Structures are given as structure tokens and as C-alpha cells.
Structure 1
């Protein structure tokens, strides 16, 4: 059965399966805009992090079933609370006792599940968490004898209600199916086997760490770090990538590294002292793709950024936001990153800054990413903008209808007529030609103006972007639709009823406006290279059949092996299964044909701090 049929069993399932969010639908655009606006205005008043200082402060340990274990398997997933089919397909793979990976045998389920942010879309609420995250994950793993620990970071969508729902779900020690939650705040520190540490940072709403969070890590983490300890840091966004455009984006994470991991404040001496620990792996979601940056080592040959050889000594920065939300592009990722950049305004920073290079394998690959991005403006693609977002097409049609009516009024005045239909029906071929020329001029004008300005300033010409260009393009579509309306009016017999003629002309304008207006908008989005508009290239398509997660293993010798895994599709066919091992029997969905799980790249080996080792890595 499909999602629509599953909804009929919502009472038995204990949640209502949801469709993926259509981000360019008028309802979602309006609702998200209001929530984002309110969050921006009231963020300083609703920020729950300041009052979290009154909550219990404690260090977590994993695995729960055996705190003295010499090894551990860890799962990381982010951006997961969107449509049911993608979310539950990934949750089912995470919940399997042993996960079969094509060409790589099988891997055991993680004893620790890390949720890297955006556990719910489009905005946080108790109902949204229940339907888009808790319900699917509870059904995927109703119970587990090994009691895997679940920790979560809030993303920007979790923050839109000021963390109210997030803290109720993840910070009250409640079970989510077989997973157990133990954190008491929106950030955490977990002690792992072999002197590894997992740290989750809540860095939303600003570039500085709030005082309760700083004191938490000064109390629970820094004093316990010893020489040779290794740290995994999870953050809500890949600020290392953002630093390519915003020089200060990485500042807060670099400050955390320098002041709470590599050094600590000794209250007795009043000085800072070295801890001997280091961050070996940075993890994040937020961007819905897989990308890995590997550290350049001092002995790497110059100019080797595009082909760094595998080396366990390298620190890694990984973005993996494949938990079930729409797929994001990878073809515009920067190839190299000095962190922090030389232009950063940090007073104390590493000099020279360490460099990181983008690894060879991303998901999707760069060429596939370009092809997928173009689909939003490809009429025969199932991801074409008006086909994927029918509400947006209706909005565009209504907007174009208004513009056509305004243009009709202006044309009527220019023709010296008192009735619009008379002006349209008595227009000549030269009038149609003039309207088409006006439409073409509105299309060409932004290119001529933008290119000439860039040439005069010595910059490389680039297709235009910006709100003004979008308005001119839509105006051009309105004039083109008016010219078609004039041609249709001229071909209608004079004996026809005016109301019928008006209905025909308005229908023509609305249909052309919906199709051409949406197409022009899609082309404008496709031409934009950065910012929110550029992100619409992929979010407007809501591609939910490319998902994945990370599975990591800390071995008894201290080495961490990172497995980047992708599902080769999303399950669309579901069966119902009775769960009888709980006090009250209930029903859960089961994938009819579970997707095959495949490795995105060869496993990446990361040596622990101060303990370099040789072994298989992955080509960078």
C-alpha cells in the first residue's frame, strides 16, 4: 500500500504518515516566511539556551549496555524529519540488527545514534515531531535489548519554536522506540571507548557560544581531556564550507577547538594549559548531500589538493544530510578551504591555517548534481517546477492574470478605446508584433545591463539574478500572454458574446501565465549562483529518493573507520505488521521491498590522536 492508504491506518500506527514538504508551494512559502520572521524578531527573547543553565549538567557514556566496552558502532544521520517514505526507508536501515551493504558484507547496528539536526520540517511542533520523526523511528525499532543511546542536535527548523518541542522530545529521558534519550540540554558530551569523545554543539542563532553551554563543556569535557584523546565534534551546519563566502563563519567552531579542546583554563595557576587532545572528525548535516574534506599534511606535495593520498593521520570534515529531506547540490562546493581564512577577524587563530581539500567522491557526484539541478527548468522532467509544485503554478497563473489585466488596461488607453475587448479585437498585426517586441526587450534588458556593468568593472560576465530581474521576467511573460490574447481576440467572430470572449481570454492568460511564468521563474532560479534562491534549484524539486547516513566503528586499537552509506532508492510499497511485544499491541509499517544499501566511497580510516597507524583509507 502507498502513503495515502497508510494514512487510513493512522490510529493503529499512532502517527500520520506525511508527504514531503513542497518548499515552493504558496502555503509553505508563506508559513515558513512567517515562522522565520518571528524567529528572527524574537530569537533574543525565546532563546532557551540561557535558561538551560538551570537544567541538570551531566556527561553521557556509550554504549549504555556495556560502558566498559573496548569498541563501539556509531550511526550519524541528519535532516531526517521530512516525508514518511524517505524518512522511514532510512530509519529501517538504521534499525536493522545487521545491515547488508552491497559489496561490503554486513555491519552491526550502532549502539549510539546521533541526530545531526532538522529532525522535523518545515517548522517544529509537538505534532510535527510525532508524525515526521518519532512515529517512524519508533515503528522502525519498537524495542532493542542492547538499549542504543540516541542524542540529538537542533537544526534551524528545530529552532523555529524556540526549542520548546525539541527539549520535550529529546531532553526528558523518554524512549523513542528501542532508542533511549539521556541528554538534558540541546548540546551534549559523550565519553566513548578508546579515549574518544563525541561532542554536540548547539550553535544556532549566532556566532558566539552562550554562557551555560560554555560552562557545560568547561565542566564536563575540558577537565577530562588527556594527551592522546580524540574528539568528534558535531555541529548544526557546515560552517567550514560557508567560510569560503563568509570569512567569519568558522570562528565559533575554531574558538571551541582552541579554547575547550586543545587547551583549558587552569583555575589554580590562572593560565591556559595544553590538553594534548585534538579534534579528529567534524560532522554536520544541514546541506542535504554527502561531502568530505580531508586535511592537507605538512609532507603533502604542493598542488596535490585534487588527489590527496589516503592517510589515517588526516583530520576529516564531513557533511552528511541525507536523512530523508530533499537532495542538495554538490557541484558548487569549494575545492580547498583554509580554516579559518586569512580574512577572518578572529584575534587568536592558527597561523598558518590548516588547509582542507574536497575528496573525490561526493553524493550526488558533481556532474550528476548539475544534471539534477537543471531538472527544475526541464518541462519533460518529473521534477519540473510547476509539475512538482502545482500550487506554485496556480500562484503564478493568478499573478500573471493580474498583470495581463493591468497590461490590457494600459493597451486600451494607448489604443484610445473605452472598452478593453474592443481594443483587443480591433488590434492589428502590428500591435501584436509590438507587444512581442516589448516582451523580448524586457527579457533582454537585464542581460544587457548586467553584462555591460560587469564588463565595465573588469569582471567576468554572468547571467543576471536578483528580485528586479525576476520582476522584469514576469512582466515580459505578462506582455507575451497579452499578445497571445490579442491574437485570440482577433480570431473570434464579432457575433460572439462578450462574456464568452472574456472568459476565453482570461483562461488563455491564466494557463500561459502558469506555464510560462513558472518556467521563467525556474530559469531565473537556475541562473542564480548563491544564496537562498540558488538553494531553490534543489529544494523546489523535493527529490527524496537519494538518502543515506554514516556508520562509524571505533576499534579496540583506537582507529575510527567511517562508512558513508547510501540507499539506492526509497520504498514506495508498504505492508502492515502487528507489534505484540508491548503492553498495548499496535501496528507498524514494513517496507515491501527494502532498498539496497551501497557504499558512497571506500571506508575512511582516521587514526586516534597521537597514535598514527597505517591501513586502508580512501582515495581523496
Structure 2
């Protein structure tokens, strides 16, 4: 097995290794790179802001999609029953669909690690920026054309920016468009929202039909009953939920979630928004009261893991919820979109889990080095901003109270400059007991600065999960994709956990 980022800097993708073969897979169409600094992109993705300001219509629209699917014969319990054996494996990749080099860099390793898996799940944001049907060619069908098994998905907020139209067509047996609704009364909040709302774009039907041929083998075919579903596979049940535009669950979906959670099998939740991320709980509110995490923590429901996308990196929190029972809360959003910073995550200190239990990828030091070089290039202040991976690792270890993430061949000296750069770039500190003025750097990085720092050259720090199931255990491994050939040929394991099921 090749070195991981926890073993060596070369295992993280630093240095000058041989580029990967993924470049041969990337479409050569001009002008196709997605930029989150482009005002046109931001305007297309305006529906999330409109929903927050004028009311979120996602729950009602989701209910209409589910009703339409039920009318054409989707199973009432929304359970996909697969003929998988007691021992099998599947893949999970989150936030995949930007269509650029980082997404395609994941593909060779994913195909190699997943060649014997029974299916794959995309956890959130199948297509950026707005889930348009025409974007599925280069951002879904082409990259995964050689994956031989079915692919299921739960939508993310970006898939909802065109009212879920493309997602439903691809994953739900060519679901027809929803009939138009009655217009809201004039001069109301709903009327203003509808006036500004981004509508689904016209579809190039010939191009879409051609794209679908890339994944047309009978073994690749799958149909899911709607945007949320459950899969009965071997000895486990996998439950996928749709958190819409704003990360909430409507009452109808919540009632279904409680019902499917009563099944006696061990369960994995797959969600568009993680229940823990960046050192804090995010329990996902339910319309009418309660949270998704309340359902997951109920011992009668037997959840052993909750995996969410939306945050574009890997994080794992083994939370002890009652007695000796532990649930693995995982962020798995490293499947292809720009990388969200991990160096801004403060030292983890949560009930039932501490910094010593927490895992992330990229490592905080690698994240800081990655961002420092981007800022050095963009500001042309290379001598100030640029940190080597050793310097970044050293200053992060200092702020984590001397917890080095990997052995340093030559320990770097932590200077005033490295500390200042780390502070300016938002490296997380343990919160102070006494209040003081602090800039919201972690939120700023997640919401604005990380998207603006998308890069199209390795190392990419992308990742995906392989989950192996037996009647007794569940083994989850996080594999890295750096964009370099060594990690393509033998994708390193950045984290691994085995969960008992009996």
C-alpha cells in the first residue's frame, strides 16, 4: 500500500511527482472551467439566497415530485431492494460535479478501488453550478462511464437550483417536468421570490441523449423512487435523505425517515448536509420540530454511521452517544469540487470526541500550505505568504499543542512570519475563555474564500470512500486522489474505521 499524507509529504502529493493519467479523460471543450468569482455563476445560483430571504419552497416542490413518482408506480415505502450478498462493497463520493480537473483526477483511483463494488452513491451536489440537465454529460455520464455498476444519489443544494429537474430526469427514470403551479398573490414575499427565481434551462435533447449512451449498459442501470430513498443491501439498510436548498427536512420526508428507521437492520445515513462538520454539530432541523440527528441517535434505529456531503473535504467524528455506543459522523465531500480548507477547523473538543479521536483530509498543515501558495501567487507576495508543507505542519502542530500529523524528516522552525501567515489565513485555535473581538475567518473561508481558491493543478486533496460490509462488521476507508500517478495507481488510505454490527 502506498504512503498516505500521514506518512510522508510525498504521500500527500507534494514535491514533483509524475502527473496522473486523468488529464487524458478531461474534455477539451473551451471555456468549460467553472469559476465561483464569475458574477454570471453567482447570479445563476441565486435561488438559495432567495429562499432564505423570501421563504423556502423546497419542501412543497419535493412533495410534488414524490407524489408524481408515486403516481407512476414508485414503491410507496421508497425502498430499493437489491440482491446483494451478505458480503459486498460500495463507494461513496460527495460533491462531485464541477467537471474540471479535480473531479476527473478522482476517477482513475475510484475505478481501481471500486472495480469489484456493487454500486456507488453520490452524496450531494451531483452537478454544479445549478444542476442543469445539459451539464450531466461532462460532469456525470463521461467521468463515470467506465464504472460498471449502478449509481444512486441524494441531491445537494446546487441540484435544487433548477428545481431538481435534471436530477429527477437522470436518477428517477426520466421523470417528466412538474406541471406549473398557480401564481402567488401579487406583492407578497412568495410573488417576489417567484419573480426573481431561476427556472430550469432549455435542454439540448440530442446532446443529452448522446451523453446517456456513455452509461447505458444494463449493469449500470438504476432507478430510484425520488430524491430520498432507502436501499436494502445485504445485512444493512442505507437511508438517503434530501436536505434541499437550505439544509432542512420537510414534515412528509421526516415521517418517512422515522418509519424506515424502525427496520431492525443496522443503518447508514447518507445526507446532503453532514450532521457534524468543522468541529461543531449540525443536526439538520425538521419542519415542525426535532432534528435528523435525534432520529439517528435513537438506539432503536441502529444507525452506525451518518455520511454527508456539502463540505468539500473529509472529516470523521466518532461520537459516543450513549454508554459504549458510538456513531461515526463523516463528511465525505471530496469527490471533485474545490477543496474547503481544513486548517480553519479549531481543535475538536465535543461531548464524546476530542482532537485525538478526530480525523480529516487534507491534514490541516497540508491545507494551510495549499492555501498559502494560492495566496502567494494571487497577491504576488510569495516571500511573505508561501509556506512549505513542513513550515505549515509545524505551525499547525504548535496550535494543536504539539500534535504533529506526520513525522517530519527535518523539523521546520516556527517563526513570526509563519505564525502571522497562519493567523491571516484563519488557522483554527482553541476558543478563549474570555470574549474578545474575532474575525469570522472560518465562515468566511467556507462560504467565500475556499470557492475562490479553486485550483486546476495537483495536488488536489480529493477523496472518496469504499465501504465493505459483512454480517459482523462495516469497514469504511477514505482513499485519496492527489492528481499524481502514484496515488492513481495505488490510492492511499487516509483513514480507516471498522464498525461492529452485531
* Mapping 1:351-500, distance limit 5 Å: 355-358=352-355, 359-379=357-377, 459-460=435-436, 462=438
Query: Match of 2:311?
Result: 287
CA separation in 2, counterparts of 1:214 and 1:322? 27
Kindly provide the CA deviation profile for residues 507-527 of structure 1, in whole angstroms up to 9, marking residues without a partner as x: xxxxxxxxxxxxxxxxxxxxx
CA separation in 2, counterparts of 1:112 and 1:334? 35
Q: Which runs of 5+ in 2 are unaligned?
A: 1-20, 175-211, 383-433
1:299 positional shift: 7.6
1:250 positional shift: 4.1
Cα distance change, pair 170–42 in 1 and its aligned pair in 2 (3 A): farther
Query: Match of 1:90?
Result: 106
Equivalent position SS for 1:276? helix
Equivalent position SS for 1:367? helix
Tell me if 1:547 matches 2:465: no
Query: Match of 1:325?
Result: 337
Output the TM-score relative to the length of structure 1: 0.54
Choose from 467, 477, 483 the match for 1:563: 477
* Mapping 1:340-351, distance limit 5 Å: none
1:383 positional shift: 12
Tell me if 1:28 matches 2:41: yes
* Mapping 1:497-516, distance limit 5 Å: none
Query: Match of 2:138?
Result: 131
CA separation in 2, counterparts of 1:45 and 1:73? 33
Considering Cα pairs closer than 8 Å and 6+ residues apart, tell me whether 1 or 2 has the greater RCO.
2
CA separation in 2, counterparts of 1:599 and 1:279? 28
Equivalent position SS for 1:166? helix
CA separation in 2, counterparts of 1:77 and 1:596? 18
Q: Is the 8 A contact 1:52 1:212 kept in 2?
A: no
1:17 positional shift: 8.3
CA separation in 2, counterparts of 1:75 and 1:108? 10
Tell me if 1:233 matches 2:269: yes
Q: How many residue pairs were aligned?
A: 378
Cα distance change, pair 208–337 in 1 and its aligned pair in 2 (3 A): farther
Choose from 277, 280, 301 the match for 1:277: 301
Cα distance change, pair 20–361 in 1 and its aligned pair in 2 (3 A): farther
Kindly provide the CA deviation profile for residues 546-583 of structure 1, in whole angstroms up to 9, marking residues without a partner as x: 2220001012x420001110023167xxxxxxxxxxxx
Q: Is the 8 A contact 2:36 2:452 kept in 1?
A: yes
Query: Match of 1:531?
Result: 443
Choose from 177, 198, 205 the match for 2:238: 198
Q: Is the 8 A contact 1:295 1:316 kept in 2?
A: yes
Query: Match of 1:162?
Result: 163
CA separation in 2, counterparts of 1:167 and 1:373? 36
CA separation in 2, counterparts of 1:31 and 1:383? 33
Cα distance change, pair 329–182 in 1 and its aligned pair in 2 (3 A): same
Query: Match of 1:315?
Result: 327
Kindly report the root-mean-square deviation, in angstroms, between the aligned alpha carbons of the 2 structures: 3.7
Q: Is the 8 A contact 2:340 2:446 kept in 1?
A: no
Choose from 48, 57, 62 the match for 2:61: 48
Larger of the two Rg values belongs to structure: 1
Q: Is the 8 A contact 1:43 1:162 kept in 2?
A: no
Cα distance change, pair 560–5 in 1 and its aligned pair in 2 (3 A): closer
Equivalent position SS for 2:310? coil
Q: Which has the higher helix share?
A: 1
Output the TM-score relative to the length of structure 2: 0.65
1:261 positional shift: 7.9
Q: Is the 8 A contact 2:22 2:108 kept in 1?
A: no
CA separation in 2, counterparts of 1:382 and 1:550? 37
Q: Is the 8 A contact 1:39 1:162 kept in 2?
A: no
Equivalent position SS for 1:70? coil
Cα distance change, pair 53–594 in 1 and its aligned pair in 2 (3 A): same
CA separation in 1, counterparts of 2:87 and 2:172? 26
1:289 positional shift: 0.9
1:61 positional shift: 4.3
Kindly provide the CA deviation profile for residues 489-516 of structure 1, in whole angstroms up to 9, marking residues without a partner as x: xxxxxxxxxxxxxxxxxxxxxxxxxxxx
Q: Is the 8 A contact 1:79 1:285 kept in 2?
A: yes
Equivalent position SS for 1:315? strand
Cα distance change, pair 17–570 in 1 and its aligned pair in 2 (3 A): farther
Q: Is the 8 A contact 2:58 2:244 kept in 1?
A: no
Equivalent position SS for 2:110? helix
Q: Is the 8 A contact 1:84 1:136 kept in 2?
A: no
Q: Is the 8 A contact 2:90 2:467 kept in 1?
A: yes
Q: Is the 8 A contact 2:319 2:328 kept in 1?
A: yes
1:315 positional shift: 1.9
Mean CA deviation greater in 203-212 or 277-286: 203-212
Query: Match of 1:595?
Result: 488
1:326 positional shift: 0.9
Q: Is the 8 A contact 1:60 1:182 kept in 2?
A: no
Equivalent position SS for 1:542? coil
Tell me if 1:109 matches 2:92: no
Q: Is the 8 A contact 1:240 1:337 kept in 2?
A: no
CA separation in 2, counterparts of 1:153 and 1:185? 9
Equivalent position SS for 1:217? helix
Equivalent position SS for 1:552? strand
Q: Is the 8 A contact 1:553 1:562 kept in 2?
A: yes
Cα distance change, pair 362–383 in 1 and its aligned pair in 2 (3 A): farther
CA separation in 2, counterparts of 1:601 and 1:53? 38
Kindly provide the CA deviation profile for residues 286-315 of structure 1, in whole angstroms up to 9, marking residues without a partner as x: 111111111247789xxxxxxxxxxxx632
Choose from 252, 258, 273 the match for 1:212: 252
Kindly provide the CA deviation profile for residues 91-131 of structure 1, in whole angstroms up to 9, marking residues without a partner as x: 343334xx3xxxxxxx6532121110111111121111222
Query: Match of 1:476?
Result: none
